[in-house]
Amino acid sequence: MKLSFMALWNGTQPGWRNFTSNLDKVRLVCAAQRSHRHQAASCLCDHLCSTENFRRGEAGRLVTKVMSSATAVSAQGSPERMAEPPPWMQKIKANFCRVCGGRLAVSKPLGDKEWRHVCSSCGYVDYHNPKMVVGCVVEHQGKILLCRRAIEPCRGLWTLPAGFMELNESTAAGAVRETWEEANAVVHVVAPYAHWDIPLIGQAYILFRAKLAPPYTFSSGPESLEVALFAPEDIPFREIAFSSVAVTLRLYCEEVRSGTFRLHHGVIEKRPGSLPNDPGAFHLRDHVALDVTSATEMSGQAGAA
């Protein structure tokens, strides 16, 4: 394969005289490499699908589904093969350089494989990275604490207390702070519960299991119209604000009934242009779940001692 690429590049094959520029040359080589890599990825995917479910290991941890490396790579695309910026890149509202005030343009800086917002005057690169959302699944006497949103998006719908992580705080501290701000509730974090990636909107959700702590009170914060405790069977799933919250609550309710809690990770794939609370516009892929009930309960007891 490499020999044929080099022969094309050096112009030693007869068919090469049909091409008139180095650009055509690069396009042909990339196309051949893309075909070769696609075949390799397909073979890897077939192998992974044949071993999709792990069995319970010696430690008693259960993995419900393994992430496919081929799927994860193909979902994002290979940056060096993207001839144009992805559509979502054009939607990021970055117009002027924060250093010199020059106009920003979407391009690939020298030596970078990703599309960036680059100042056309001074060359400053304005990086945009995914945002971290942190929050809590708060349980009290068998019920779950939910907040009815007072702000957009999804004003009037129910959600878990959660929000954007601030600088100079940990994920757990941020989750506790958001719960206090939105529900005026003091909570004790029990264990990590879920990590959901949502590539389409550039967000990652980290949610913790938590218990309501003394004085066991709650009320509406500035961003909430109402705060209430719901039994699992009474949760208004038709009025849940976000896909990440809907996925989390359904899994949590199942595990409350089974008495076995797990640690979850997965990718929420949303349909472009869909609303945040559209139940038919997303699906969970590459879901991995580990049984952590024993470990977390023992850790909680040790901390209390």
What are the DSSP calls for 37-63, one per residue?
Answer: HHHHHHHHHHHHHHT-SPPP-TT----
Strand partners, 192: 208
Interatomic CA distance for residues 268 and 159, integer angstroms: 17
**Tokens for 106?**
């979407």
Name the burial class of residue 91, with classes exposed (0-12), middle (13-18) and buried (19+) by CB atoms within 10 angstroms of its CB.
Answer: exposed
Q: What is the CA 10 to chain-centroid distance, rounded?
A: 44
Cβ proximity of 155 and 242 under 8 Å: no
SS3 content of the chain, % helix, strand, coil (to 5): 35, 25, 35
Interatomic CA distance for residues 214 and 216, integer angstroms: 5
C-alpha dist (Å) from residue 220 to 150, 224, 225, 242:
9, 5, 6, 19
Claim: this prediction has a pTM higher than 0.75: no
- What is the bridge-based pairing of β-strands 203-212 and 143-149? unpaired
Taking only the tens of pLDDT, the chain with its 305 residues reads 444 434 434 444 444 344 334 434 434 334 444 444 444 434 433 333 333 333 334 333 444 444 443 343 334 444 455 677 777 666 666 789 999 999 998 988 888 888 899 999 999 999 888 999 999 999 999 999 999 999 999 999 999 999 999 999 999 999 999 999 999 999 999 999 999 999 988 999 999 999 999 999 999 999 999 999 999 999 999 999 999 999 999 999 999 999 999 999 999 999 888 888 787 789 999 999 999 875 444 444 444 43
Interatomic CA distance for residues 199 and 269, integer angstroms: 7
pLDDT for res 293:
73
